[in-house]
Chains A and B, each alone.
Chain A
Amino acid sequence: EVQLVESGGGLVQPGGSLRLSCAASGFTFRSRWMHWVRQAPGKGLVWVSRITEDGDITSYADSVKGRFTISRDNAKNTLFLQMNSLRAEDTAVYYCVEWGLGWGQGTLVTVST
C-alpha cells in the first residue's frame, strides 16, 4: 500500500523558515518523480514544486521560486521542502504527491504574527 506521510508544518512568523518532510513507503521511491502541492484554506489545489527520480532536475511555481527548495534522500525514501522567506500567502496545507499513485494526508503551514 502506498503511504506518504508529511511532517514539519506549524506556525511561523513572516520571513521565517520551515522544512517539510515526506516519508514514502509501499512503492519504489527512487524511481518516481515527486511533487509538492498546496491548498490554501477554502481554496483549490496549486502545484508548488517537483523533483525527478535522482534529484537532478527540479522546477518550481513562480510564486515560490527562489524561496523554496525541493530535495530528496532516496536512501531514506524521504522528500523534503525547505521553505524560506515565508509570507502570509504561503499559508496552506502542503501535500506530498506521487502523481500516479497518491497523496499524503498533508501538513498545515501557517504564516502569521
Chain B
Amino acid sequence: QSVLTQPPSASGTPGQRVTISCSGSNSNIGANNVNWFQQVPGAAPKLLIHSSNQRPSGVPDRFSGSRSGTSASLAISGLQSEDEADYYCAAWDDTLRGLVFGGGTQLTVL
C-alpha cells in the first residue's frame, strides 16, 4: 500500500491530452513539492517534473505538473507513442521523515 495514491493505469490515443492524478495528505503533498518520474521498462526512472511544476532541461514542454492542497497532477499533451511508460509521483513526508511514492501509473498509448 503506497502512501501516495495514483490510478494504476491510464491511456490515450496519439495527440490526446492525458492527466495522471496523485493524492496524498497534509504531511506530504500538502506541505512539500512533488516530483514526477517516468520509467520505461528495463530502465531507471527519469526525472520528469521537479518542484511540482518545473521541467528539467531536455524534458519536452508537453509535460506539465501542478499541485493544489493535498493533490498533484501530471498532464501530458500531444501524446506520443514514446510516452508509453510507468509514471510515479513522490514527495517528502514530514511525519515519516522520508520520501513517499505513489504506486505508479502505467500509461498506454492506444
Contacts and interface: CB of A to CB of B under 8 A. Distances in A.
Contacts of B90: 45, 47
A36 B101 CA distance: 13
A59 B93 CA distance: 12
Interface in B39-72: 44-47, 50-51, 56
Q: Report whether over half of chain B's contact residues are helix, strand or loop; otherwise say mixed.
A: strand
Given A103-B46, A105-B44, A47 B35 contact: no
Contact of B51 (A47, A50, A100): A100
Interface residues of A, number: 19
A26 interface: no
B99 A35 contact: yes
B45 A99 contact: no
> In the complex, which range does the number of interface residues on chain B fall in?
20 to 34
Nearest to A35: B99
Main secondary structure of the interface of A (DSSP, over half): strand
Interface in B1-40: 2, 35, 37
Interface of A: 35, 37, 44-47, 50, 59-61, 95, 99-106
Interface of B: 2, 35, 37, 44-47, 50-51, 56, 88, 90, 92, 97-104
